[in-house]
Amino acid sequence: MDLIRVKNVNKRYKNGVTAIYDLNLNIKKGDFVFLIGSSGSGKSTLIKMLYREEKPSSGEIIVGGINVAKLRNARVYKLRRKLGIVFQDYRLLPKMTVYENVAFALECLGERKNEIRVKVLKALELVGLKGKVHNYPDQLSGGEQQRVAIARAIVNEPKLLLCDEPTGNLDPEMSLEIVKLIESINKETKTTVVMATHDKEIVNKMKKHVVVLKDGRLIKEYEKGKYDDEIF
Ligand code: ADP
């Protein structure tokens, strides 16, 4: 079963730049996909369309049965509830503790305190940060901050985890740890993962489904992929 279906999608920004050309892509439930390509190839644009930060100019995008392009603004929350997002720059709230950062979205959803507590501690345990619940983001290393961001992204058990260059600010060792953590989440919880990256080492080590973008076009797909130097 496909969790994501992208059909004949084009994305042209208001300034006239076309970022995605005639894209067709299906991603199965539980899959782990690396989206690779050099800077400007359209990776972020595709990720943004999957969580409806951007709309396609034409074509169809279905995520978990939701027709994302046609979704009315007032209904975007329905899509967002099904997914978690991790960014390169962590995007934690600096005046909140680790616990509060992870709990925040659940509080906004109006969940009860006790339920929130169970979910937050479970997520923080999964990312190995249960001992740091009272710390503030600036008291953590980059890798730890990204772990908090991952805990926040998975706390509501999303069907889909979107990651946009999650290791972009981390050293190689920490990067591998973070990607391995995301792999374990993918395996244990069956959460589908789509990760944009240009980290060649990691793509080669992990041997996952690889989708290669170049100048806004999908030019290759590998089942158990590698970072193909010839393409770049
Ligand atoms: P990547 O994530 O692979 O670096 P992007 O999706 O960010 O690629 O960018 C693809 C193309 O779209 C680039 O040419 C970029 O300049 C352009 N682009 C990205 N965002 C915008 C925007 N908000 N407005 C106009 N052009 C954009």
**What DSSP assignment string belongs to 133-181?**
TT--GGGS-HHHHHHHHHHHHHTT--SEEEEESTTTTS-HHHHHHHHHH
Instruction: Give 75's DSSP letter.
Output: G
Is the CB–ligand 1 distance for residue 212 below 6 Å? no
The strand ranges marked E within the chain are: 2-12, 18-28, 32-36, 58-63, 66-67, 83-87, 160-164, 192-197, 209-214, 217-222
Q: Between 113 and 198, name the one with better pLDDT.
A: 113
CA 158 to ligand 1 center in whole angstroms: 26
The pLDDT tens digits of the residues spanning 8-41 come to 999 999 999 999 999 999 999 999 999 999 999 9
Given this model, what pLDDT does residue 129 score? 96
Assign 228 a pLDDT band (cuts: 50, 70, 90): low
Backbone φ/ψ region at 39: left (φ over 0), alpha (ψ -120 to 50), beta: beta
Task: Please provide the distance, in angstroms rounded to a whole number, between the alpha carbons at the two ends of the chain.
Answer: 32
Given this model, what pLDDT does residue 149 score? 98
Is the CB–ligand 1 distance for residue 159 below 6 Å? no
Backbone φ/ψ region at 153: left (φ over 0), alpha (ψ -120 to 50), beta: alpha
Assign 136 a pLDDT band (cuts: 50, 70, 90): very high
What is the rounded radius of gyration, in angstroms, for the C-alpha atoms of the chain? 17
**Contact predicate 208/36, CB 8 Å:** no
| Average pLDDT value for residue range 219-229 | 80
Q: Which atom of ligand 1 is nearest to the CA of 39?
A: 4
For residue 72, is pLDDT > 60? Answer: yes
Given this model, what pLDDT does residue 230 score? 61
| Average pLDDT value for residue range 103-122 | 94
Given this model, what pLDDT does residue 225 score? 75
Given this model, what pLDDT does residue 10 score? 98
Assign 201 a pLDDT band (cuts: 50, 70, 90): confident
Token couple for 188:
């244990």
Given this model, what pLDDT does residue 188 score? 94
Is the CB–ligand 1 distance for residue 44 below 6 Å? yes
CA 113 to ligand 1 center in whole angstroms: 40
Percent of the chain with pLDDT over 70: 98
State which of 9, 13, 57 you would mutate to test the pocket of ligand 1, scoring each by most atoms of that ligand within 8 A of its C-beta.
13
Is the CB–ligand 1 distance for residue 13 below 6 Å? yes
Given this model, what pLDDT does residue 229 score? 64
CA 215 to ligand 1 center in whole angstroms: 10
Beta bridge partners of 11: 20
State which of 23, 41, 45 you would mutate to test the pocket of ligand 1, scoring each by most atoms of that ligand within 8 A of its C-beta.
45
For residue 133, is pLDDT > 60? Answer: yes
For residue 62, is pLDDT > 60? Answer: yes
For residue 232, is pLDDT > 60? Answer: no
Reduced to 3 states, what is the DSSP secondary structure of residue 189?
Answer: helix
Is the CB–ligand 1 distance for residue 39 below 6 Å? yes
Q: Which atom of ligand 1 is nearest to the CA of 46?
A: 6
Is the CB–ligand 1 distance for residue 19 below 6 Å? yes
Q: Which of 151, 148, 197, 138 is nearest to 172 (CA)?
A: 197
Given this model, what pLDDT does residue 231 score? 59
Beta bridge partners of 35: 196, 211
Report the chain's mean pLDDT, rounded to a whole number: 95
Assign 103 a pLDDT band (cuts: 50, 70, 90): very high
In this structure, the residue with its CA closest to atom 18 of ligand 1 is 19
Cβ neighbours around 12 below 10 Å, total: 15
Integer Cα distance of 226 and 232 in angstroms: 13
Percent of the chain with pLDDT over 90: 92
